[in-house]
Chain A
């Protein structure tokens, strides 16, 4: 085990690099492509520096904690398999970067392309380097998302959008299944660490959860690797630009599923279930993909189905579960990458130069674009598995493995089908060569084809060199294949590769494939007619129908539950809550009551009865809105009384003052709303609602009764014990608010402030919108009182104001030790100010207002926050309070506490928020034509006297 910190850097590089192209695109397309290549090249370089160690058989690891509670850590490890895939991802990534620079036209947003490409590359790299299966899942989902962006890159094409959506749906659904499988796997082993899981293969295979985990993980792998019956998304993903297809469908995306099966090989492979599930799926996919590929006229579609077929081949090999098959699979992964990436790029070049990918419109290109034709021919022949190219070697190895594999005791079905797949593979490869490049030059190409600039064919040419090199000198690839297959099977494989195995059954099978393939191509025209005459299920139609069906059934449920009537949502919510509550209630073990009930004095009974009557009246009389408010205030007052009796003086004070402002608020609101609620529910609905309501009431009563008669333990003893010594106050409720749970309170005054500002903002928006006109036209006059600002009220509130203010300040100052505090003081002062508004009218009071309410909220939050910050200066955590005592000799000892500064913040914020809310409502009234009274009251007797004396003075002056 070596330290692998560098792996984290490698993994993060593409993601950091993804930020670059978007910025660099302004510097031109060349600069953009160059800078997109830098992170890839850098990551590849770093990876290669680690290669010697991995080749020696060492494993690099590194780990950081991320979310230890769920077992998620950022762990990376690098072994042979990771190295192989890492090199493939980064190496081909580099080639694609170059190719895409020349392939994309000037109209395509190239910066976006490289950003998506690097994101995808980073996600893929993350999958192959992860040493934690939860982390692997994160990267797995990231590949689904980033490939969605890449496939749908040409967003103006409907095929591109639909293809991207289909790919995301299929691979995303598979990803969900895989999450389930991985979680089961992690639970069996007791660790989400991949290395641990791989070491516990026997435990996993014996577990009764093995089969579900296997099936779920395989669904993930099969969807990603386009295995039957999930293969249909891959051809539709061909709507992407060719560089994307070349990258996703040769080296990366679809190989992720193969990688996962190879990675999980030690943990999952080797059982019957594995063999029949994986090998059978692979076999079917291989034959089916090859068959469809033969009849595709679109070059990219042909390559797409050939990819499906080759992925099937790889899956089948991994499914065999033998050492030799694993070696063959690893080698074929490399070979498929080299020829398939080159072929996709060749198809792209043909499309780019001839402006068509339709084989029926092509032919004779060998003379017009010799370089492209050479590249295309060599790689296609490798795909066909012709000696001496690399495709031949791995296909021989595959056929050799197939030759002695029995399927349900049947010795010939696997070899026969494998040979059939090989025949078809030869046929479509030859078709690619002979129908595109060979034949006479035509004169009806959509554009005049010629060889592209060097930049476009450089990448496939390099890959072609590899195709030939690995074919002639397989020992070049041997060390990498060996170390990768060691990693797959979990022990030394001593893999060796050679071109010529002698005359074996596999060679005969290859020979048959070659001959039959050639014949098939010769008969292609006739076969195609037969094929087209056959009825075939169209995967896209089925998929679309499934999606539509899913949407329909989801709509059926949603639109029944949420039909646009709020009442129904709430009824469902309440009924479900009741049902869940009833279930808990009826199944729980109930302990016997331990508390004795308190006696009920007669006056409590009277208040209770009053509250009951008021509630019933609110419900029955709610059509008269004004009356409902009156009854509501009765309830509020009764509850305040209850708080007094049940030893909660702070609550009583808060309740009674909040009650006052709430009723004022609702009264103000009622000014603008209809005064009467029409009866618009049927008797049935009302009965139904009443039943729900009574059930809810009974349920809550029972719940309250159960806990009220039982003892409990709470953390309150701590607060009681430390309130004086730690917080310096004897009113424990207030100390909790400003000290123990000061952070809570801080958040709460912010919420209240936001609510105030929100109301102000809504009012402002309302007065600027279409509602403003409606407001102005509305006639509120009939409801007006004749004496709106009565003398008595004006005089009384003026006299009350200083007293009320003093009470507020008194509550504020004593709050720390006696009932009171910032909340209550803020509410009391608000009420004192509101009385002025009520007595002399909104506008009159507004003129005399010196402080903006917004500012008050701001100051409140600021003061409270700064008090908290002050604790930092003393080296304590945020909001730690301090207190002490001052003693001025003649006066008694005097306590000071920083908590009072915090409480001042609370006071200011509450005052500001409450006043701002009511101010906003009054402003609407002002807008609705409420007159401004200049005088404090409608009839002022002293003004009349004043006039008289003024007249006297004037007459005296005159004399």
Chain B
């Protein structure tokens, strides 16, 4: 049984990680859902596995119980992870509607190297322009100061 649980956690983690590494918001959310399953089961199993031993106290004599503490923690974790998924979904809808695109990148990774180079050069140029305007402003400051005689 331990093998079953451990491999389930592993498979869910692997699937979750792969989907989380995608470039679009929706698969990432699905991946996070898979990861939440994995984490929840993982946390639950830290209490070790037991069958036919729910942590409901038996009034008639001693019985063995499974560990209740991880269960309580996982119970709230399940509910909270739903809340977080909902927030993420809302964010992704928002960004999709605003940008008409649900890509999760500020730049295009798969762009050909030439384009990347051009973009870099453009950024460089912009930075230079910004620097120039900044030094112009500084020069103006200095002029003004000279005027004040400071």
Contacts of B82 on A, CB cut-off 8 Å? Answer: 658, 661-662, 665, 914
B51 and A646 contact, CB distance less than 8 A: yes
Please tell me which stretch of A124-132, A413-421, A485-493, A591-599 contacts chain B, meaning at least 4 of its Cβ atoms lie within 8 angstroms of it.
Answer: A591-599
Cβ contact within 8 Å between B78 and A696: no
* Closest residue of A by beta carbon distance from B87: A755
Partner pick for B94 among A709, A748, A762, CB 8 A cutoff = A762
Which of A845-888 touch B at CB < 8 Å?
Answer: none
A751 with B44: CB separation less than 8 A: no
- Whether A712 contacts B149 by the Cβ 8 Å rule is no
Residues 681-705 of A, flagged 1 when their CB comes within 8 A of B and 0 if not, give: 1100100011011101110111011
A595 x B48 contact (CB < 8 A)? yes
State which of B19, B83, B150 has its C-beta within 8 Å of the C-beta of A752: B83
Q: Could you give, for residues 1-32 of chain B, a 1 whenever the CB lies within 8 Å of some chain A CB and a 0 otherwise?
A: 11111111111111111111111111111100
Q: Nearest Cβ in chain B — how far from A771, in angstroms? A: 4
List, in ascending order, chain A residues with CB within 8 A of B66's CB: 646-648
Binding site for B on A (CB under 8 A): 156-158, 355-356, 446, 563-568, 570-571, 574, 595, 597-600, 604-605, 608, 611-612, 615-616, 618-619, 622, 625, 628-629, 632, 635-636, 639, 642-643, 645-651, 654-655, 658, 661-662, 665-666, 669-670, 672-674, 677-678, 680-682, 685, 689-690, 692-694, 696-698, 700-702, 704-705, 707-709, 711-712, 714-716, 719-720, 723-724, 730-734, 736-737, 741, 744-745, 748, 751-752, 755-756, 758-759, 762-763, 765-766, 769-771, 774-775, 817-819, 823, 827, 910, 913-914, 917, 920-921, 924
A774 to B94, CA, bound (A): 11
- CB under 8 Å from chain A, chain B span 36-93: 37-38, 40-42, 44-57, 59, 65-69, 71-72, 74-76, 78-87, 89-93
Q: Quick check: is B138 within 8 A (CB to CB) of the other chain?
A: yes
Q: Are A737 and B75 neighbours in the complex by a CB distance under 8 Å?
A: yes
Distance between Cα atoms of A774 and B97 in the complex (Å): 7
Report whether B1 and A622 are in contact in the complex, using a CB–CB cutoff of 8 Å: no
Q: Are B67 and A693 in contact (CB under 8 A)?
A: no
Q: How far is the CB of B92 from chain A (nearest CB, A)?
A: 7
- Whether B13 and A673, one on each chain, are in contact in the complex, defined by CB atoms closer than 8 angstroms, is no
Knowing A648-B66, A720-B65, say if A696 contacts B14 (CB, 8 Å): yes
A29 shortest CB reach to chain B, Å:
21
Distance A670 CA – B30 CA, assembled complex (angstroms): 12
| Max chain A Cβ within 10 angstroms of own Cβ: one of B1, B16, B55 | B55
Partner of B87 from A693, A759, A914 at Cβ < 8 Å: A759
Nearest residue (CB) in B for A672 is B93
B86 cross-chain contacts in A, Cβ below 8 A = 665, 755-756, 759, 917
Which chain A residues lie closer than 8 Å to B22 at the CB level? 567, 622, 677, 681, 689
- Chain B residue at smallest Cβ distance from A745: B76
9 pairs across A/B with beta carbons < 8 Å?
A635-B12, A647-B65, A650-B71, A651-B44, A655-B40, A665-B86, A666-B89, A692-B18, A704-B10
Residues of B within 8 A of A567 (CB): 21-23, 104-105, 109
Cβ distance B15 to chain A, nearest Cβ, rounded Å: 5
Specify which chain B residues have a CB less than 8 angstroms from the CB of A819 in the assembled complex: 54, 56
Closest chain A CB from B50 CB (angstroms): 5
- Cβ-based interface call for B118 (8 A): no
Shortest beta-carbon distance from B37 to chain A in Å: 6
In the docked arrangement, what's the CA distance between A568 and B53, Å? 44
A564 CA / B103 CA spacing, docked (Å): 11
Q: Which 10 A-B pairs have the closest CB atoms?
A: A697-B14, A564-B106, A701-B10, A598-B1, A771-B97, A755-B83, A693-B18, A730-B57, A732-B68, A736-B72
Question: CA of A743 to CA of B124 in the docked complex: distance in angstroms?
Answer: 53
Does B98 reach chain A (CB closer than 8 Å)?
yes
User: Are A751 and B30 neighbours in the complex by a CB distance under 8 Å?
Assistant: no
Nearest B residue to A636 via CB reads B37
A611 touches B8 (CB 8 A): yes
Q: Residues 104-126 of chain B: 1 if any A CB is under 8 Å from the residue's CB, otherwise 0?
A: 11110110000000000000000
> Closest Cβ of chain B: how far from A17's Cβ, in Å?
30
CB distance from B12 to the nearest CB of A (A): 6
8 further interface pairs, Cβ-Cβ under 8 Å (given A597-B1, A693-B15):
A565-B23, A608-B8, A622-B19, A674-B102, A680-B110, A696-B17, A745-B76, A827-B79
Q: A891 vs B110: C-alpha distance in the bound complex, in angstroms?
A: 73
What is the distance, in angstroms, from B146's C-beta to the closest C-beta of chain A? 11
CB-nearest residue of chain A relative to B97? A771
Q: Contact between A158 and B142 (Cβ–Cβ < 8 Å)?
A: yes
List residues of chain A with CB within 8 A of the CB of B52: 647
Complex: chain B residue closest to A677, CB-CB: B24
- B-side interface residues, number (CB < 8 Å): 96
Out of B5, B25, B54, B97, name the residue touching A766 (CB < 8 Å).
B97
Q: Given the known inter-chain contacts A622-B30, A697-B17, A732-B57, please indicate yes or no for A910 contacting B10, CB distance below 8 A.
A: no
Known: A705-B3, A774-B97. A744 touches B76 (CB 8 A): yes
Cβ distance A549 to chain B, nearest Cβ, rounded Å: 16
- C-alpha gap A910/B96 in the complex (Å): 28
Is B7 within 8 A of A651, CB to CB? no
B79 touches A752 (CB 8 A): yes
Partner of A736, one of B13, B69, B104: B69
| A600 close to B1 (CB less than 8 A) | yes
Does A682 lie within 8 Å of B110, measured CB to CB? yes
> B67 to chain A: which residues have CB within 8 Å?
714, 716
Least CB distance from A637 to B in Å reads 11
Q: Which residues of A contact B46 (CB under 8 A)?
A: 707
Complex CA gap A182/B31 in Å reads 48
Q: How far is the CB of A560 from chain B (nearest CB, A)?
A: 13
- CB distance B141 to A156 under 8 Å? yes
| Docked-complex contact A917 and B83, CB < 8 angstroms | yes
- B76 — which chain A residues lie within 8 A by C-beta? 737, 744-745, 748, 823
For residue A564, which residues in chain B have a CB less than 8 angstroms away from its CB?
Answer: 105-107
Distance from A745 Cβ to chain B, minimum over Cβ atoms (Å): 6
A647 touches B53 (CB 8 A): yes
B2 and A597 form a contact (CB under 8 A): yes
Instruction: Evaluate contact between B79 and A658: CB separation under 8 angstroms.
Output: yes
- Chain A's closest residue to B140 (CB) is A158
Give the shortest distance, in Å, between B129 (CB) and chain A (any CB). 18
Whether B98 pairs with A704 at a CB distance below 8 angstroms is no
- Alpha-carbon separation in the docked complex, A322 to B71 (Å): 70
Q: How far is the CA of A29 from the CA of B23 in the complex (A)?
A: 60
Within the complex, the shortest CB–CB distance from A783 to chain B, in Å, comes to 16
Q: Knowing A604-B4, A647-B51, A693-B17 touch, does A157 contact B78 (C-beta < 8 A)?
A: no
B80 engages A823 (CB within 8 Å): no
Inter-chain contact B10/A700, CB cutoff 8 Å: yes
Cβ-closest chain A residue relative to B4: A608
How many Å from the CB of B68 to the closest CB on chain A? 4
Report yes or no: A714 in contact with B47, Cβ–Cβ below 8 A.
yes
| Inter-chain contact A665/B85, CB cutoff 8 Å | yes
Q: Return the chain B residue nearest A755 by Cβ.
A: B83
Q: Judging by beta carbons under 8 Å apart, are A646 and B49 in contact?
A: yes
